[in-house]
Amino acid sequence: MAKQKWQDLSRQRRGVIIALASVELTLTAAAAADLARRPADLVRGPKPLWWLAIFVQPVGPVAYLAWGRGPSTR
């Protein structure tokens, strides 16, 4: 299968790609911001490994936000 160029994609397909990329970037940014602010004792597992994991797309940020965060102090 030959690679398609961006301009060869339909307008709908380009819109879907842009929407999914936006969701992925938002999840990654949210996970990174939370991990940066959260103390290490409130993270399930080592923070350096979570830093690596959140950049494994698309499962890393979702995994961190779902399972990596420990109990909140609030």
Global pTM? 0.83
* Location of structure tokens 């999914």: 20
With 0-12 / 13-18 / 19 or more C-beta atoms within 10 angstroms meaning exposed / middle / buried, residue 50 is buried
Of residues 73 and 65, the one with the higher pLDDT is 65
Long-range contacts of 14-18 (CB under 8 A, 24+ apart): none
Q: Taking the CA atoms of the chain, what radius of gyration do you get in angstroms?
A: 16
State the DSSP code for 5: P
pLDDT per residue over 13-67, tens digit each?
999 999 999 999 999 999 999 999 999 999 999 999 999 999 999 899 999 999 9
